[in-house]
Amino acid sequence: MASTKIHAIYTDDDILMQAVKDTRAKHYHIEEVFTPFPVHGLDKAMGLPHTRLAVTSFLYGLVGLTVAILMMNFIMIEDWPQNIGGKPSFSFLENLPAFIPIMFELTVFFAAHLMVITFYLRSRLWPFKKAENPDVRTTDDLFLMEVLVENNNIEEMAQFFKNTGALEVNLINK
């Protein structure tokens, strides 16, 4: 199914922010915004929901902590208890002060590595994937707002984006 989009190109991030706010007020559907650098507050201006990545990071950290506790209990207490430096090997709680650095490191390790994997899967960044950037100038110095036309008047939308300060307004049929 073909969809028609308008690409409005801006030269300044402040002009882009105001254009995003005006576009949302006009009830046009912003598909995506491409910027050469992160623009503070753009996600809120676009109306994007809050991310749940912090919750997943916490859960991944708990998985790492659980693996660390189970691994150290099995290796150092149950399977092969050893007297190292006169420290007791009778229970996990007696050795807890020595185990804290290992638990911390594995918590951070699991959280960091699983978050990277989650980020790549969520962003659909597969190995050898082609870039989906519609205009290469957005990697240098321009900002692009991609808006769906849907059932709106194309000429009216183009004039609206020109009035918001767009340098170029291009109609894209895909």
Q: How far apart are the first and last CA of the chain?
A: 8
- pLDDT > 90: percent of the chain: 59
Q: Alpha helices, DSSP H only, in the chain? A: 13-25, 42-46, 53-72, 96-122, 154-163
The whole-number pLDDT of residue 32 equals 92
If pLDDT is split at 50, 70 and 90, which confidence band does 88 have?
Answer: low
Residue 50: how many other CB atoms lie within 10 Å: 8
Of residues 39 and 85, more confidence is placed in 39
CATH of 4-50+133-173 given 1.10.3470, 1.10.10, 3.30.70, 3.30.420 = 3.30.70
pLDDT of 173 over the 70 cut = yes
pLDDT of 147 over the 90 cut = yes
The whole-number pLDDT of residue 148 equals 92
Average pLDDT along the chain: 89
Of residues 126 and 43, more confidence is placed in 43
Kindly state the average pLDDT of the residues 101-125: 93
pLDDT tens digit string along 38-51?
Answer: 999 999 999 999 88
pLDDT of 84 over the 80 cut = no
The pTM score is 0.71
Measured in degrees and rounded to the nearest 5, phi and psi for residue 170 equal: -115, 140
Asked if residue 164 lies in contact with residue 23, where contact means CB atoms within 8 angstroms, the answer is: yes
